[in-house]
Structure 1
Amino acid sequence: MATGGAEGALDPVTAIALVGALGVGSQWLAWKLRMPAIVLMLVAGIVAGPILGVFDPARDIGPLYAPMISIAVAIILFEGGLTLNFHTLRDAAEGVKRLVFIGAPLGWLLSTLALRYGAGTSWESAAVFGGIMIVTGPTVIAPLLRSARLARRPGALLQWEAILNDPIGALAAVLAFEVVLVLRTAEQVGEAAWSLILGLVVACVLGAAGGYGTVWAFKRAKVPEFMKVPALFVAILAVFAASNLVLHESGLLAVTLMGIVIANADLPSFEEMRRFKEHATILLVSGVFILLAASLDFAALSQLTWRAGIFVVLVLSIARPVTVFAALAWTKLPWKEQVLVAFTGPRGVVLIAVAGLFGERLVELGVEDGALIGPLAFILVAASVVVHGFTLKPFARFLGLVASETPGVILVGGSNWTTGLAQALKKADIPVLVTDPNRGHLRRAREAGLETFFGDILSEGAEMRIELNGYKLVVAATDNDAYNTLVATDLGPHFGRENVYQIAREKAGTARHSLPATLGGRKFAGEATYNELNRLMWNDWTFRVTGLTEEYTMEDWRAKRPEARLLAWIDESGEIHFVSEDDEVSTAPGVRLVSMLPPEEAERGQDAA
C-alpha cells in the first residue's frame, strides 16, 4: 500500500473528497486536452498514492475501502446493463452472441496459457486469473467509444461484449477457484459443483426478480416519482448482497441481469433513471480508478520480472485477436470491423478489483504466486488502457470505422432556411443531416443533394438508422415551437446541453408563454424565430463562409458586413461551433465564419478566402 505514517493520515471525509476531486478533475482535464480520461486518472492516483504518499486508501478510509469498491463495481455493472436495450443489437446480435458464447471460453483458455507460459505462474493462479481476464472493461470502453465516435455496429459489439462478459469473467474465476479449493482441501467435488450451480441459479433468479419487481412497482405507481431513484439504489444493493451470500461474486451477474430487464421494459421514467445512473457511474468510475491506483504497492510490483512484459504482449497481440477472429469467423461482419474489435480489448476496474480478491484467497490456500495476480492485473490494465486509449481513434479512422471524420450538425426541420444553412455547411466540409417528420418539408433538401432523414428525430427508428455518434451539434428549427423545445430537452443529455440549440419561440417574451431554463436549448441566430429566419430567405439573404487571415481580421469582416448575422465559426481542425454573440468567436487566422448576409452586402464582392 501507499506509504505514509499515521501522522500524515487523512480523515475519511477528506480522503473521500480528495478521491472525488482527483477523479472528476482528471476527467475534466482529459476533456479539455482531448486525452483518454482513464490514463489521467491512473496517473493522478499513482502520484497521490505510492509516489507522494499523500493518500493511502487502506490507511485513510480503513475497513470501508473494500466494501466501497465492491458496491461501486456492482452499480457500474448495473448501469452497464441499463444500456443494453435489445433494439440496439440489430445486425450486431450474431457477433455479440459469438463473442460471449465462443469468445469467453476461448479467451479464458488463451489467457490461462499466456499466464502459464508468459508470466510463468502456476496452473492454479493461471486458471483463476485467466477466467477474470475474460472481461474487457465497460468502465474503459464507454469513455473510449465517446471520444472515438465509432460507427454504430463495432461500437455496439464492443459495448455489449464488455458488459456481458464482465460478470461471466467473475463467475469463471469463481469456478476455477472452486476447482482449486477442491484440489487443495480435498473437498467433495459434488458439493463444490452444487454450490456453484446453486449460486448461478440464485443470481439469475434474484436479478430477474429484482428487475421485474422494480418494473412492476414503477409502472403501477407503487413508488412515488421522487423516490424512484433511491428505491432503485436500495434494490440494487439488496440483490447484490443477497446473491453474494449464496455465491461470492455472483452478485455481479445478478445486478447486470437486473439492469438488462429494466432497460427492455419501456418504463416511462427510464430516461430520468438512466441519466442519473450515468452521472453516478462517472463519479464511481473516477473514484474506483483513483482508489485502485493509489493503493498500488510498488513492493508488489517489484516481484514481477521481465516475463510480465511477455505476458502483456501475448494477451494484447495474440490471445485477444485470436479469440475475436475465431469467435467471429464465418459471420457477415466485414473484416475491418473484426480487426478493430480484435485489437481493442482494454481492461478496467472489475479486473483489478476481482483479481485482488482472488489473489488473496489463493495465497490463503497455499498458492504462493497468487500474490502476483494483483500486480499482473494492474500492469495489464495500465498497458491496455494506454495502448487502446491513444490508438483506438486513429486506428478506427484508418479502417474507416468512425461515424464521421468531422463532428457534424443535425438540423431538425425542413425549410428554406435549414436547406440554405445545410448547403453552406456541406460546402465547408461539415457533415450535416436535415430531418423532418413531414416528407414534403424535405423536398428542397433532397433536391439539393443533402443527407435527409424522414421521420421523428426522437423515434426509435432514428436511433437505429442515424449514426448519432457522427454528430456533435443539434439545431431544433421546425415551425412548431413546442416540438423544438421537446427535441432540445430530450436530446440535451445525449449531446450535452451546450451543444443543443433552438430557434426562438414566437411568444417567448410574454410571461404566460415563457418556459423555465430547464426546458429547451441554447439561443441561436440572435434569438430569431422560424418566421423571421425564413422571411430573410424570402428577402434574398444568403449564407456565406468567410476565412479569417492575418490581413483580414474579425474587425475587418465586421466593418465590411455590419448587418451580417453571425451563426457559427469553424476552427482550424474543421470543427464547427455555433454562437450567440461575436465575442464567443475565435479570431485566430484560419478560422472560418458562417453567416447570413443581406443582398446588398452579398453584392459587394467576395470576402477573404
Structure 2
Amino acid sequence: MSADLGLLLVGMLGIGFLAQWLAWRVRLPAILFLLLAGILMGPVVGALQPDRLLGPLLFPIVSLAVSLILFEGSLTLRFSELREIGCVVRGLVTYGAVIAVFLLAIAAHYLAGLSWQVALLFGALTCVTGPTVIAPMLRTVRPNARIANTLRWEGIVIDPLGALFAVLVFEAIASHQQGRTVGVFLAVLASGTVVGLVAAWLLAFFLRRQMIPEYLQNYAALVMVLLAFSLSNAITHESGLLTVTIMGIALGNMRDVHIDDILDFKENLTTLLVSSLFILLAARLTWPLPGHVLWSGVAIFVVAQLVVRPLTVAIATVGSALSWRERALIGWVAPRGIVAAAVSAVFALRLGELGMPGAAQLVPLVFLIIIGTVLLQSATARPLARWLKVAEPDPTGVLIYGADAAARQVARALVDAGFRVVIADEQWQGIRLARMEGLTTFYGHPATTYAERHLDLSGIGRLLAMSANRERNALACVYYRQEFGRGRVYRLLVEDTHQAHERTQLGGHLLAPALFDAAMTHERFEERLAEGWTIKSTRLTTTFDWPHFIEQYGSNTVLLFGVEEKGALRIASVKRELEPRPGWLVAALVPPQPLRPSN
C-alpha cells in the first residue's frame, strides 16, 4: 500500500511538472493544464482519490499550502507601488474590485441559488486576476504598452488585496455560522493582524541583524510562516489565513530587509505547491458536473465576462487617458488564477464542516470561471486586439543585457534608428548612466522571476547579450531563445574563441550567434571606444553605397546592424553576414578619422 501511495504521489508531481512545462511551451497559463490533469486523474480515470488517499490529513495539508501561497502573493505588494501605478489601476483594484465583488455575488445568488453569504465569498474569490495567468496571456496578445502595463499591474496588486478581502469575508461568514458575536469577529481580525505583524517584525529583526545565515534564511521564513499560521489558529479559530496575509504585506513593505532570496524561494515553492494542489483539488470534483451546477456556472461566467468586467472597467477608467479601444480590450481580459482556485478549496472544505448550505457548489463554480476565462480569452484576446487596432505589430524592439559603454552606445544607435530598446543589468552603475542618457532601463537580470512580472517586453523581439559576464550572457540567451526564437538571440563574445581553452568553453546548446564578427569581443569593443572609435549611422544611396562607406572609414570598420528600406532590422553576426544595399540605414563602429588639413 505504501509503495502504491508513494508511486501515486510521485506521479502527481511528475504530471504537475509536465503541465507546467506544456504551459511554458505553448505560452498559456499553467493553471489550465493543471486543472485538466486533475480532472483526468480524478473523476475521469479514477486513479487519484484525494479524500481516500489523505483522509484526515487533506484539510491540514491544503490549509498549510494555501497559507504559503497567500504569504508569497502578499509579499509582493508594495504600498509605494500603489502611488505609482496610476489612477486606472488604483480604480480597478479598489472601488472597481468592490463593484465586481457585489456584481458577481448577485449573479451567483440569482443564477446558482447560493445564499448571500456564500455568494459574497464567491464574488470575493473571483474578482481577482494574477501575474501567473496574466503574464503568459500578455505575451501572446501583445497589446500596446498602456494596456499591458495596466493589466500587469492590476494582476500584481489585486492578488494580495483580493486574497485579504476574501479572507475577511470568510471570517465574517464563519463567525456568523457558528453563532459568534460581532465582538468575536473583531477579535479574529485583531488576533490575525497582531500575530501577523509580530511574526513579520521578528523575522525582519533576525534578518536585519544577520542572526540567521543566508543558507538558513529561506528555511527560517518557511518555519515562521507556518508557525504564525498555526499559532494564530490556536489563539483564535480561523484567523491563520489572515495572519499570513498580513505578515507578507508587512514584511514586504519593511525597509532595510533583504527578502529577494526569500521571495525567490517562496516563488519556487509556490510553483510546486500550486502544481500539486490544483491537481489534488481538481481530482475531488464530480465529473461530469451535475446539470444545474454546470449550467449555472456557465451562466455566471457569461455574466462575468460580458457584464461585470466591462462595467467595472468602464467605471474605473472614467476620466482616464485610455481610448475606448484600449478600455474595450482591458474589459475583455481578466483571467482568474491561483488565489481563486486555491483559496476557494480550503474555504469550501471549512464551510462544509460548518454545514453551510451551498459550500459544495463553491469550488466547481470557481473552477468553471477559471477554465472559461482562460480558454475564451486565450483564444480571442489576440484577434480582438488586432481588430481594435491596439495590438503591437510584429515585435521589432531590442532587449540589451548589459549597461556598460559598449551596450549603451549600441542602444543609442538603435534608438536613433527608431527602435524601442530596453537595457537590463543588475549592475546599478551602468543602469544609472543609461538612465542619465535617456535610455529605457530595467534594473535586474532579465531571466528572473522578478523580470517576468516587471520587465515590460511590449514590442520587444530580439536580445543582444552584451554584458562582460559570459555565463550570465548564456543564461539570458537560453531563457529568451524560447521567448523570441533561436534566430533573434545574439551574444557579444567575452573572450577570443580561438584563444579560449576548450575546458572553459560553454556547450553549443548554451550559445547564440556571436555579434558583429568573430574578432569582436566585449573587451575589444570597450577598448576601441576608449581609443576614440564611434558608432556612425548613414543612409546608403546609389552614389554612396557600402563599398564607398568602407573606403571612407577604413577596412577595419565593424558593421553593427542595418535597417532595410521597409524598416526591417538586420543584426550583424557571424551567422549572417550582411550585405547592405542602397536605401539601407547602416550603423558601424568606425575608427577616429584623421584631421584633414585646412586649405
TM-score above 0.5: yes
Q: 1:242 to 1:363 in 2, by over 3 A?
A: closer
Displacement of 1:510 after TM fit?
Answer: 8.9
The one-letter amino acid of 1:290's match is: I
Matched, 1:81 2:74: yes
Of 163, 169, 174, which residue of structure 2 is paired with 1:172?
169
The aligned counterpart of 1:118 is 111
- Partners of 1:576 and 1:399 lie apart in 2 by 26
- What displacement does 1:46 show? 1.7
Q: Tell me the distance in 1 between the aligned counterparts of 2:268 and 2:570.
A: 25
The equivalent position to 2:521 in structure 1, one of 515, 526, 529, is: 529
Residue identity in the other structure for 1:116: H
The reply to whether residue 23 of structure 1 matches residue 16 of structure 2 is yes
- The Cα of 1:266 is off from its aligned counterpart by 4.9
Say if 2:314 and 2:327, in contact at 8 Å, map to a contact too: yes
1:240 to 206, 229, 232: 229
Matched residue of 1:222: which SS? coil
Counterparts of 2:20 and 2:568, CA distance in 1: 21
Match of 1:64 among 57, 68, 89: 57
Structure 1 pair 330–203 and aligned structure 2 pair: CA distance change class (3 A): farther
Residue 515 of structure 1, CA deviation: 12
Read off the aligned partner of 2:270 and give its amino acid letter: T
Deviation at 1:365, TM superposition (A): 5.8
- Structure 2 residue 189 is matched with structure 1 residue 200: yes
Q: Structure 1 residues 192, 29: CA separation in 2 closer, same or farther (over 3 Å shift)?
A: same
Residue type at the aligned position of 2:372: A
CA 1:219 to 1:536, structure 2 compared with 1: closer, same or farther past 3 Å? closer
Q: CA deviation at 1:208?
A: 2.3
Opposite residue 206 of structure 1, the aligned amino acid is V
Which position in structure 1 is the counterpart of 2:160?
Answer: 163
Whole-angstrom CA distance in 1 between matches of 2:294 and 2:496: 70
2:293 is paired with a residue whose SS is coil
Structure 1: distance between partners of 2:198 and 2:367: 35
Residue 117 of structure 1 aligns with an amino acid whose one-letter code is Y
- Deviation, structure 1 residue 535: 8.3
Residues 528, 76 of structure 1: alpha-carbon distance in 2 compared, 3 angstrom cutoff: farther
Residue among 444, 449, 453 paired with 2:439: 453
Residues matched between the structures, number: 538
CA RMSD of aligned residues (A): 5.2
Change (3 A) 1:331 1:433: closer
Residue 210 (structure 1) aligns with: 199
Gaps of 5+ in 2: 484-488, 539-555, 585-599
Q: Are 1:19 and 1:290, in contact at CA under 8 Å, matched by a contact in 2?
A: yes
| Corresponding residue to 1:106 among 95, 99, 110 | 99
Rounded Cα–Cα distance in structure 2 between residues aligned with 1:167 and 1:286: 22
User: How high is the TM-score relative to the length of structure 1?
Assistant: 0.71
What CA distance in whole angstroms lies between the structure 1 residues aligned with 2:339 and 2:277?
A: 10
Which position in structure 2 is the counterpart of 1:449?
A: none
How far the C-alpha of 1:254 sits from its partner, in A, is 2.6
Q: Distance in 2 between matches of 1:404 and 1:249?
A: 50
Aligned with 1:130: secondary structure?
helix
Q: Is contact 2:492-2:514 (8 Å) kept?
A: yes
CA deviation after TM superposition for structure 1 residue 379, in Å = 1.8
Corresponding residue number in structure 2 for 1:372: 361
1:278 is matched with which residue? Answer: 267
Change in CA separation of 1:27 and 1:422 when aligned onto 2, cut-off 3 Å? farther
Structure 1 residues 506 and 325, CA, compared in 2 at 3 Å: closer, same or farther?
same
Report what 1:410 is aligned to.
399
The residue type paired with residue 494 of structure 2 is: A
1:405-464 CA deviation, whole Å, 9 max, x = no partner? 52742334576787568868998x974346896899989xx9xxxxx61778559xx999
Distance 2:201 2:321 in 1: 35
Amino acid paired to 2:70: L
Query: 1: CA distance between counterparts of 2:364 and 2:13?
Result: 24
Alignment of 1:532-547 (within 5 A): 532-533=524-525
- In the superposition, the TM-score normalised over structure 2's length comes to 0.72
In the TM superposition, what is the alpha-carbon distance from 1:25 to its structure 2 partner?
0.8
Instruction: Tell me which of 2, 5, 18 is aligned to 1:12.
Output: 5
- Deviation digits for residues 332-357 of structure 1 (CA, Å, limit 9, x no counterpart): 66655544443333233443444445
Report sequence identity in percent: 29
**In the alignment, which of 219, 223, 226 is matched to residue 208 of structure 2?**
219
Residue from 39, 42, 48 that aligns with 1:49: 42
1:232 positional shift: 0.7
Distance 1:20 1:94 in 2: 42
1:296 counterpart letter in structure 2: L
Output the CA distance in 2 between the equivalents of 1:92 and 1:20. 37
What are the within-5 Å matches in structure 2 for residues 133-172 of structure 1?
A: 133-137=126-130, 139-141=132-134, 143-145=136-138, 151-172=148-169
Could you tell me how far 1:139 is from its partner in structure 2? Answer: 4.9
Cα deviation for residue 95 of structure 1 reads 4.2
Separation in structure 2 between the aligned mates of residue 454 and residue 357 of structure 1, nearest angstrom:
43
Q: 1:344 to 1:241 in 2, by over 3 A?
A: farther
For the 8 Å contact 2:104–2:123, the answer to whether it is kept is yes
User: 1:195 deviation in Å?
Assistant: 1.8
Provide the C-alpha distance between the structure 1 equivalents of 2:431 and 2:270, rounded to a whole number of angstroms.
40
1:343 and 2:335 matched: no
